Amino acid sequence: MPPPPTIDGYVDLVEIGEGGFAVVYRATQQRVGRPVALKVLKAADLDERAQRRFDRECQAMGSLSWHPSVVPIFDSGITDDGRPWLSMAYYERGSLADRVRRGGPLPWDEAVDVGVQVAGALGAAHAAGMLHRDLKPENLLVGPLGEARLGDFGIAALGDAALTTTGHSSFTVGHAAPEVLRGSRADERTDVYALASTIHTLVDGQPPFRGEPGEPAAAVLVRALEAAPRRLEGVPEALADLLVAAMAKEPTDRPGGAVALGEALQEVQRSNGRTVTDLVTGATPGADDDPPGPVADREPTLVAAAPASPPPTAGDPEPTVSGRTLDRPAPPPAPATAAGAGAGGEPATTPSPDGPSPSRRGRRVLVIGAVLVVAVAAVALLATRGGDDSAAPAPTTSPSTTALDADFPEAATVVAEVPVGDLASAVSVVGDDVWVSVADDTVSRVDPATDEVAATFDAGEFPGPLVESGGSLWVNGLELRQIDPEDGQVTVRSGSQTGAGIAATDVRQGARVPVTGNPEVWSVTSASAVFRHDAVTGAGLDAIVVQGGASLEAIAVGADSAWVTNTRDESLLRIPLDATEAAATIDLIGDVEGELAVSATDDAVWVALADGTVARVDVATNEVVALVYVGGGVDSPAIAATDDAVWVTASDDRLVRIDPASDAVVGTVGFDRGLEAVAATPTDVWVTSSDVVVHLEPAAL
């Protein structure tokens, strides 16, 4: 065991615990003689960006210390060897996880009492613009009066800022919401899910998706992504129903916020004759004028009896570009009937009466993290925020902005709907072939001439984005697979995949073949790595590992570079095809709260942001030169660009067409179900929706 660090003002450090990215010590604060818990993060030498984020998170955590259900923060700093630390209250009675391990599950009414207390703490945090990110029984400490105290508030965010180079996850799989497991951004509803999962665990003694002895962790993750949580027995029906609803796969199907969940728990207490726990919520009195997130303008409130309703939320801040405020109008009204209708006015996509509603980004993505290990021959270390050499210059001109202010003509007409048998996710068009990834672990080849499925092959678990290159079909899923498009023979090329982006150097005419001589397949293989494979031989060439904080998602290939989105800091990496390091890191402009999508042509790179805007990046200057508002809400977009049109999916079930010549929306197509992916050529557009891939022909606009 290494010796404890030296921290001025603290003595008698004794290690009492270790987590994924921090070590905890019991210590004495010399000046006042009180016992404290010192949490020292494992990563050292924060860069300037991470240091600023650490300071912001510490201030935000300290601003919650007034709350009776939050572990108060006393101080923070950096050790002599460069590791961030926090000083907080020390509670010798341990956590509720310790109590369950020692004495078994809690009675349901005690667990509900805890749930109301913690819901109030979360409500206060959310009102201050802060998420917990890693709520679990281990982080619920028992206070001196027996009350629940929520600890580690924001620690996961600090881990995101400081510890991404260690390989540790900043969430606990057993209580992580599906959107987090998929690599999407967390929001208030993510904490709602974790609180419901925690209450379930306190009552049942086991998490809702517990694994059996010897069961692979991947199997547990699959259940968490796809299966309904186990329903509690021996508790009031209303409580069992509430916890199942709060752990819904789709965030929109959960209670509207922590306060809403707390009020619903109060109603369970009331209707079963139990004492109703006070729900302490609201914003911190005297909060800083510039907090780290939106702040609700209200004083602390005791909610003892009120009907369940979503809490008030602060208005969305106006986005700014180079110091200017952009007017972001509301999206246009939805069409009265689904656009792209067939004969007789039938909608372009007909929902199955028995099938489940597909989630946005319906591909079944499995983020394993440290569960599997990637074996590579050579690794090139890429520092995305390491200094001036890796960052693009600040824009010298403000990007133009285009808003929606009118109804638009039909952007395309529906040619056919091709059933593929299950939830269709990714789609790719190469030459005469259209390939679709399907949720039943297959890929299908569609013949554009007949609009029929010509072949279906096994693709392994969780097939995601796919591309044809070097005479093979490449599918990025739980494994990167090279498939013979004629007979379906599969060769596994690497493991530990995220099901994220994939691209090839020979997909578009004009893309330069790199120095290896053969075309290459570039795939996002984890949150922080991009693999390069020889598309002909399948040989692994090397991996580009992004250090300093990354959550890589989508990738596109342009004339001479690969472009990779990093949702961790809303940036775009430019990696030359014949290099193993980035030539530029471009900060994207927009109120991003989710996944990014990217598509490239020879002259421009187009990035769809989750706030309903599309950013155009000039490949000559590495600057964002235009922002186009396409509407919709905060959701996972998809995008496909050609020289003549850019096609973007909006979360309100529309396909939007942008004219690259004017950087303006020129048409839309409405659907009656969500759109998952889009691919395009100058003459055809293909979108996946539910269990079909829809073939469209661009209109002459």
Round to whole Å and give the CA distance between 191 and 172.
12
Q: Which of 644, 639, 627 is nearest to 698 (CA)?
A: 644
Listed residue (259, 298, 251) closest to 278, CA to CA: 259
Helix (H, G, I), strand (E, B) or coil at 4: coil
Note whether 169 and 221 are within 8 A (CB).
Answer: no
Q: Are residues 17 and 93 in the same domain?
A: yes
592: CB partners within 8 A, 6+ apart: 567, 570, 609, 610, 611
Closest CA to 323 of 393, 395, 391, 392: 395
Are 383 and 285 in a shared domain?
A: no
Query: What pLDDT does 214 receive?
Result: 61
636 within a domain of the structure (yes/no): yes
pLDDT value of residue 396 = 42
Report, in angstroms and rounded to the nearest whole number, the Rg of the chain calculated over CA atoms: 26
Distance from C-alpha of 419 to C-alpha of 655, rounded to nearest angstrom: 19
Question: Residue 672 belongs to a domain with what CATH number?
Answer: 2.130.10.10
The catalytic position among 109, 113, 134, 160 is 134
Question: Do residues 247 and 130 both lie within one domain?
Answer: yes
pLDDT score at 448: 94
Whether residue 355 is contained in a domain is answered as no
> Which DSSP helix (H) or strand (E) runs through 436?
strand 433-438
Query: Is residue 57 assigned to a domain?
Result: yes
Domain co-membership, 298 together with 386: no
136 domain residue, yes or no: yes
- Which sign does the torsion angle of CA 318, 324, 327, 331 carry? negative
Last residue of a domain, one of 312, 344, 379: 312
Helix (H, G, I), strand (E, B) or coil at 108: helix
Structure tokens at 252: 């929109």
Please give the full DSSP string across 531-550, using - where no structure is assigned.
EEEETTT--EEEEEEEESS-
Output the six-digit token pair for 549.
């904080």
In a domain, 643, yes or no: yes
List, run by run, the mean pLDDT of 10-residue segments along the chain (701 residues): 88 86 90 92 69 73 88 90 90 93 96 98 88 90 93 57 36 77 79 97 93 64 83 96 96 94 97 96 45 33 36 33 31 37 34 35 32 28 33 45 63 95 87 89 94 93 87 86 90 63 70 68 78 85 71 88 87 86 80 77 91 90 90 75 94 91 93 91 94 95 84
Asked if residue 126 and residue 192 are part of one domain, the reply reads yes
CA triplet 126, 138, 197: central angle to 5 degrees?
A: 60
Residues 302 and 432 in one domain: no
Q: Hey, how many other C-beta atoms are within 10 angstroms of the C-beta on 517?
A: 9
Same-domain check for residues 163 and 85: yes
Same domain, 305 and 402: no
234 and 167 together in one domain: yes
Look up residue 284 and give its DSSP letter: P
Please name which of 627, 592, 598, 626 lies closest in space to residue 610, comparing C-alpha atoms.
592
- Containing domain of residue 444, as a range? 360-698
Q: Are residues 301 and 378 in the same domain?
A: no
Q: How many angstroms separate the CA atoms of 55 and 44, rounded? A: 15
Classify residue 474: in a domain, yes or no. Answer: yes
Which pLDDT belongs to residue 290?
A: 37
292 plus 162 within the same structural domain: yes
Whether 330 is in a domain gets the answer no
CATH (domain of 241): 1.10.510.10
Domain ends where: 277, 312, 347?
312
Could you please report the per-residue DSSP string of 43-80?
A: -----HHHHHHHHHHHHHHHTTTTSTTBPPEEEEEE-T
Is residue 558 included in any domain, yes or no? yes
Alpha carbons within 13 angstroms on the beta-carbon side of residue 254 total 26
Q: Half-sphere exposure of residue 307, counting CA atoms within 13 Å on the CB side?
A: 1
Active site residue 134: yes
* One domain, residues 133 and 17: yes
Count of domains observed in the chain: 2
pLDDT confidence of residue 227: 87
